[in-house]
Amino acid sequence: MDLLKPLIALLAIVNPIGVVPFFIHFTQSFSRAQRQRTIRISAFSAFVVIAVSAVAGLKVIEFFGISLASFQVGGGTLLLISSLAMLNAQPGESSPTDLDEGQEKVDAGASIAVVPLTIPLLTGPATISTVVIYAEKTRFLWQIGVLVAYGVVIAAVTYIVFSASGRIARVLGRTGINIMTRLMGLILAAMAVELLADGLTKLFPVLAGQGMR
């Protein structure tokens, strides 16, 4: 197994820089502490997904009785729901008015860090399937360890990129963020349709016209 190819592939697929607009959208009303907590959870979650995919891979998915195609359809649905809110330039969370709502917001930040930031925006079906494919090509235990280590690299890159998002937000301002949110919402909707279409055609080949031959 070429040891560099998995890392290059993961960096290209995960692409934390491309997720920055979504991170800004979902955390624009968060305090600095809440945003930092979201960054830490998101980076750690990305590592967990890659590490579990390398060690367990398809066994985890098979344990729940689902396929990558079904996972893809579910991820596409989550993306589509998120894109509808973004097209209206709606913030990920409303501002708290009391301590209870403030705590709910902290909890929501942790949830946002996992879904949809980590899954499926950072580490979706493509990332999982890529790690599984390379894990199947390994011949020694230390090669699996290398794949897990690459998860640490992806987590570190994600943390660094997301930490710089505050500077990007200050440069753009509220109007710029709203414009970018609507634009990225449209792009996200297109990505969601692609994921849904690809997943559905895998689940139902007749939709691709294969059943008409």
Which residue shows structure tokens 């509808």? Answer: 84
Distances in Å between the alpha carbon of 44 and those of 38, 83, 154, 179, 185? 10, 24, 9, 30, 25
- Domain spans of the chain, in order of start: 4-207
Which among 12, 23, 1 has a CA at the least distance from the CA of 167? 23
Question: CA-to-CA distance for 177 and 5, rounded, in angstroms?
Answer: 35
Task: Give 150's pLDDT tier (boundaries 50, 70, 90).
Answer: very high
Model-wide pTM > 0.85: no
Which among 41, 50, 59 has a CA at the least distance from the CA of 14? 50
Q: Per-residue pLDDT tens for 121-139?
A: 899 888 888 898 788 788 8
